[in-house]
Amino acid sequence: MVSSIEWFGIGVLAFWAVIYAFKGKLEKRGFKVYPFFLMWRKGTRSEWFPGVANSNAYKGFEKVAIALGIASMVGGIFLIYYVISGLLVRPTETGIRLEPIIPGVTIGLNEAIYVLFAIGVSVVVHELMHAISATSNKVNVRGGGFILIGIFPGAFVEPDEEEFQRSPTSAKLKIIASGIAMNLILAAVFFPIATYLLSALSQGIEIVGVLPHSEAYNISLQPGQVIEEINGHEVRTYTQLSQALDSSTHYLIVVKNPNGTISYYNATAENHFLGVEVTYSIPPSAYPFLEFSTWMFVVNFSLALFNGAPLFITDGGKIFTELVKKISSRYGEKISYYIQTLLLMSFVFAILLSISLPQ
């Protein structure tokens, strides 16, 4: 029997087979087609949202963006070596790992659509900020476009390279850092949504697992049931569940069954431990927005750190090079090259450790 992961892989291969079959027609429309790589590039307006770009508010944002870009660069470097040190010293205890996003392997297939949508939105907004900052700093935008690598969407803008290189260092830093700053801002916006809206929308505490020989096991609580009340007190959050269990050792538990009926259970737990694994019970209609919000936080925070790290092709690499060149105009690029080589090797090593060492 073919598994869902295998069907997913077959679907991806079929999609790219169709793309490659229509390669000639797509290239006539401005696309470039390679195996598992699709790009559409187009010349574009030279200025982007000049009203916004030249406003005092945006000028202020750009100054903050430089600080956020440098902070992301430092944070990215710290994260790489924090993961390496943690995995080398105590691999089974380290909670943070650097693992690539692979649908069906590192994330569930049911999450893939939200991840890809979040990546698409985040990258487009990131590149838009580069374009606006280019306009703000009198650098024309020559082109832009979209790419698809495997199943992952992307976007890019192309400021005039000669004008960019002639710009002062401060202007270069503003153009480069604006995208990173917006990713951090989006992460900050979606973090409280992903964190607090979940409990706010909760209709109860859903049981997802029952520990063998626990009190919950003894009274026949089942996964899929939703705890709504304990001893007459409403239970909608983890805090309310903990408080209800701590307040007594004898419980009258009201649960909603998967078919919508209500059941009542009497339980006794001298140690206040019921023995259930739980999650929030969320209305099905709210799930897509909550899942999207969660991934918008994860994707944007990850983009800010990893794109902020000095790894050659990243924005952080460009920021790092400009800063080092400011210190040493003669040897700046060479120094930056050697340091970024070390950081890139460390980054790859951190990923290899993350996927190879047991959790």
Cα dihedral 15, 19, 20, 21 sign: positive
Q: Could you give the percent of the chain with pLDDT greater than 90?
A: 78
* Neighbouring C-beta atoms of residue 40, cutoff 10 Å: 16
- Are the CB atoms for 11 and 5 separated by under 8 Å? no
Q: 217-233 pLDDT, tens per residue?
A: 999 999 999 999 999 99
User: Which residue intervals of 36-168 are DSSP H helices?
Assistant: 50-53, 56-89, 109-136, 161-166
pLDDT tier for residue 94 given thresholds of 50, 70 and 90: low
What is the pLDDT, as a whole number, of residue 238?
Answer: 93
Q: Which of 3-12, 50-59, 150-159 has the lowest mean pLDDT?
A: 3-12
What is the average pLDDT across 14-29?
Answer: 92
CB-based contacts of 357: which residues, under 8 Å, 6+ apart? Answer: 87, 91
What is the average pLDDT across 159-182?
Answer: 96
What is the average pLDDT across 36-61?
Answer: 92
Candidates 3.40.50.10170, 2.30.42.10, 3.40.50.2000, 2.40.240.10; CATH matching 203-281: 2.30.42.10
Mean pLDDT over all residues of the chain? 92
What is the pLDDT, as a whole number, of residue 107?
Answer: 85
What is the average pLDDT across 246-251?
Answer: 94
What is the spatial distance between Cα 90 and Cα 334, in angstroms, rounded to a whole number? 36
What is the pLDDT, as a whole number, of residue 90?
Answer: 81
- Statement: residue 42 has pLDDT above 90: no
Q: 117-131 pLDDT, tens per residue?
A: 999 999 999 999 999
Q: Which of 93-97, 174-178, 195-199, 336-340 has the lowest mean pLDDT?
A: 93-97
pLDDT tier for residue 264 given thresholds of 50, 70 and 90: very high
- Statement: residue 165 has pLDDT above 80: yes
Q: Could you give the percent of the chain with pLDDT greater than 70?
A: 98
pLDDT tier for residue 281 given thresholds of 50, 70 and 90: very high
CB-based contacts of 176: which residues, under 8 Å, 6+ apart? Answer: 69, 130, 315, 318, 319, 322
What is the spatial distance between Cα 249 and Cα 268, in angstroms, rounded to a whole number? 6
Q: 292-308 pLDDT, tens per residue?
A: 999 999 999 999 999 99
Domain locations in the chain?
36-199+287-356, 203-281
At CB < 8 A and 24+ separation, what contacts does 103-112 make? 103/8, 103/151, 104/4, 104/5, 104/8, 104/9, 105/5, 109/4, 109/5, 109/8, 111/291, 111/295, 112/8, 112/151
- Statement: residue 280 has pLDDT above 80: yes
What is the pLDDT, as a whole number, of residue 75?
Answer: 96
**How do beta strands 226-230 and 276-280 pair?**
unpaired
- pLDDT higher at 242 or 8: 242
What is the average pLDDT across 315-339?
Answer: 93
What is the spatial distance between Cα 305 and Cα 69, in angstroms, rounded to a whole number? 9
Nearest to 174 by CA among 21, 315, 337: 315
